[in-house]
Amino acid sequence: MAEKQKAFQKCINPDCGAEFSCAEAFFKCPKCGDLLDIKYNWSEIETPKKMSDFAKRWAAKNNRLDFSGVWRFRELLNFCPDDLKISIGEGQTLLQKNDMLAEFIGMKPGCLRLQYEGLNPSGSFKDNGMTAAFSHAKMVGAKSCACASTGNTSAAVALYAHHSQMKCTVFIGSGRIAFGKLSQAMDYGAKTIQIMGDFDDCMKQVQAVCTELKLYLLNSLNPFRLEGQKTIMYRILEGLDWKVPDWIVVPGGNLGNSSAFGKAFFELKQLGLIDRIPRLAIINAAGADTLAELVNKRNLKWNDGKIDNKIIHDFYAELTTKKFSPHTCASAIEISRPVNLKKCLRAIDVCNGVVRAVNDQAITDAKALIGKFGLGCEPASAASLAGLEVLLAEKIIKPDETVACVLTGHCLKDPNVTVNYHKEKGGRYSNPPVESPNDLQQIIKLMS
Ligand code: F0G
């Protein structure tokens, strides 16, 4: 049906493969309930001959779409007419070469980059996805939207909903969200519902609410969100003068990013815009390590889309029996039933990926290092560096390989974790404040 359209939606399950127009809004395949992908008829789209052609758009920054770090690459996510694109200047992010940190963790100079997505308008990578999904929401005429969130999604949805003049409700687990984020959702005018449960409970409820009340869902189940998140990889290539790195390291929660990154590289290779695909390392928190468990211990694989669902169902049944609720200081990735699991398996297949889990001590130590040597980040983002250290120790990543760690969220999201880490002096890099009487001589003494 969709042959002549530039873009269409398609179920990822090869036994279903149903196709739908982009003028419709679903968050699951209406035929079989599996995940939906955005597919492109590339022959209908004028794509650039080489990635560096996109660089010309730096010179036209007063064009709002060229200014956006997402829409600058619009031919590669070509599902929406330009006049319907919602942008608030997202994607002005930074690929920082960090030799001091590289040396500290035993890598060669020039090999480590930090992609700081905290620089987005709402403070996390989510804005890359929201600009795309809200543009789609506008295409389908949605008036009201909702999401479940561990924090960043709620802030990003609330911000973009405001700019799209849509009503917005965010569902968060009671006591499971950093205050910096809760404050944003309230400030941007979203209705905030705190559910007595964890993120997985919120995710389940929000899907039911969106179905019942016909609201537009903005979690990464929404395939249009992932189209926007592909551009994080384009910007990493841009920051490396269009050279493909050896490794991308990213924290894994609901697994939208890893899924989007795999899709980005698959498409670029298909289009002949890159000559090789980097490897992907996805890092779970040990307290929320579903992906690591399923991939490394239970041998779950993409298998050309014919995934062994029994492995997943059995594991989830075990979690239910144990009444398991995930716990980690990296609240953003405190998720035990990641909705994009299957697409992530595909990304692992495409990118010859690996999965590791790191504990909270390793995450907070890594966070302190990124603070000390880099630009800082929130706890979940630091899982990427902690994971890189593990993979260097295992000699899976070599010290002279080019690595980009994606720092997904801003360092001011969760100051409690940071201040406690330093004050409690328990971490390898704790830098506690010193108390002083209000007396000049004593202050000077303390400074020596
Ligand atoms: N890093 C940060 C800072 C996040 O906020 C999230 C997810 C992730 C990593 C995980 O990304 O889902 O693509 O694997 N946060 C969601 C939220 C769940 O509600 O803000 P993923």
The 10s digit of each residue's pLDDT in 60-103 is: 889 999 999 999 999 999 999 999 999 999 999 999 999 999 99
Q: How confident is the model at residue 373 (pLDDT cuts 50, 70, 90)?
A: very high
Query: What is the DSSP-derived secondary structure letter of residue 52?
Result: G
pLDDT at 176: 84
pLDDT digits (tens, 9 = 90+) for 152-207: 999 999 999 999 999 999 999 988 888 889 899 999 999 999 999 999 999 999 99
pLDDT at 179: 87
Q: How confident is the model at residue 432 (pLDDT cuts 50, 70, 90)?
A: very high
Q: How far is the CA of 275 from the centre of ligand 1 (A)?
A: 29
Q: How far is the CA of 375 from the centre of ligand 1 (A)?
A: 19
Burial of 166 (0-12, 13-18, 19+ CB in 10 A): buried
Substitution site in 199, 261, 333 for ligand 1 pocket (most atoms within 8 Å of beta carbon): 333
- What is the pLDDT averaged over residues 110-136? 98
For residue 254 and ligand 1, the question of a CB distance below 6 A is answered with yes
pLDDT at 151: 94
**Please, which residues bridge with residue 441 across strands?**
none
Q: How far is the CA of 434 from the centre of ligand 1 (A)?
A: 34
Residue nearest to atom 4 of ligand 1 (CA): 332
For residue 129 and ligand 1, the question of a CB distance below 6 A is answered with no
Q: What are the chain's domains?
A: 95-121+225-423 (3.40.50.1100)
| 179 or 370, greater pLDDT | 370
Q: How confident is the model at residue 356 (pLDDT cuts 50, 70, 90)?
A: very high
Euclidean distance between CA atoms 120 and 436, whole angstroms: 38
Residue nearest to atom 11 of ligand 1 (CA): 253
The residue count for the chain: 448
Beta sheet of 279-285, edge-to-edge order: 94-97, 112-116, 403-407, 247-251, 279-285, 354-358
Q: How confident is the model at residue 424 (pLDDT cuts 50, 70, 90)?
A: confident
Residue nearest to atom 15 of ligand 1 (CA): 332
pLDDT at 180: 87
CA 383 → CA 179, 267, 281, 344, 362, distances in Å? 20, 27, 11, 17, 8
* Ligand 1 closest atom vs CA 380: 1
pLDDT at 306: 97
pLDDT digits (tens, 9 = 90+) for 26-38: 999 999 999 999 9
pLDDT at 1: 47
Q: How far is the CA of 257 from the centre of ligand 1 (A)?
A: 8
- Dihedral angle over CA of 53, 83, 36, 214, nearest 10: 160
CA atoms within 13 A on the CB side of 52: 5
Sign of CA dihedral 124, 128, 133, 136: positive
Euclidean distance between CA atoms 166 and 140, whole angstroms: 13
Q: How confident is the model at residue 287 (pLDDT cuts 50, 70, 90)?
A: very high
The answer, yes or no, to whether residue 258 has pLDDT greater than 80, is yes
Euclidean distance between CA atoms 6 and 18, whole angstroms: 17
pLDDT at 233: 98
For residue 408 and ligand 1, the question of a CB distance below 6 A is answered with yes
Residue nearest to atom 6 of ligand 1 (CA): 332
Q: How far is the CA of 272 from the centre of ligand 1 (A)?
A: 30
Angle at 225 between CA 224 and CA 230, to 5 degrees: 100
* Ligand 1 closest atom vs CA 150: 19
Q: Are 417 and 180 in contact (CB under 8 A)?
A: no
For residue 333 and ligand 1, the question of a CB distance below 6 A is answered with yes
For residue 262 and ligand 1, the question of a CB distance below 6 A is answered with no
Q: Are 236 and 245 in contact (CB under 8 A)?
A: yes
The answer, yes or no, to whether residue 4 has pLDDT greater than 80, is no
* Ligand 1 closest atom vs CA 155: 20
* 410: Cα separation from own chain's centroid: 13
Tokens for 209, please give them: 């609410």
* Ligand 1 closest atom vs CA 381: 1
Helix (H) or strand (E) holding 238: helix 231-239
* Ligand 1 closest atom vs CA 344: 14
> Phi-psi region for residue 326, left (φ > 0), alpha (ψ -120 to 50) or beta?
beta
* Ligand 1 closest atom vs CA 377: 3
Euclidean distance between CA atoms 378 and 383, whole angstroms: 9
Q: How confident is the model at residue 2 (pLDDT cuts 50, 70, 90)?
A: very low
For residue 326 and ligand 1, the question of a CB distance below 6 A is answered with no
The answer, yes or no, to whether residue 208 has pLDDT greater than 90, is yes
Q: Are strands 403-407 and 112-116 parallel, antiparallel or unpaired?
A: parallel
pLDDT at 448: 83
Mean residue pLDDT of the chain comes to: 96
For residue 285 and ligand 1, the question of a CB distance below 6 A is answered with no
For residue 340 and ligand 1, the question of a CB distance below 6 A is answered with no
Tokens for 222, please give them: 């929404």
In sequence order, which residues have a C-beta less than 8 Å from that of residue 419 and are 6 or more positions away? none
- What is the pLDDT averaged over residues 344-354? 98
What percent of the chain has pLDDT above 70? Answer: 99
Euclidean distance between CA atoms 155 and 180, whole angstroms: 9
